[in-house]
Amino acid sequence: MYTRIFIAPIFNVATIADCASVIEGVSRSRNALLNGDTKNYDWDSGYTCHQLGSGAIVVQLAQPYMIGSIR
């Protein structure tokens, strides 16, 4: 029998360093959402978005995690 174990991380696992990637969403630079820079963003860089009512922002993590909150 195969048992799947989910890890509940205590730190941000949605980063490039932790092998996360944005697989759906619109941004001017790939993985801008995950680069860790929360201070420097404007219309041209540092964000990921989607059109309301259509699409989504989807982040693929390196492995299955049990996520308790998203900010």
pLDDT in tens, 23-38: 988 887 777 778 877 7
Q: State the total domains in the chain.
A: 1
Residues 61 and 31 sit within 8 Å (Cβ to Cβ): no
Q: Which of 5-9, 11-15, 60-64 has the lowest mean pLDDT?
A: 5-9
Query: What pTM was computed for the model?
Result: 0.74
Domain enclosing residue 40, as ranges = 1-71
Strands (E) located in 1-71: 21-24, 58-60
Per-residue pLDDT band at 19 (split at 50, 70, 90)? very high
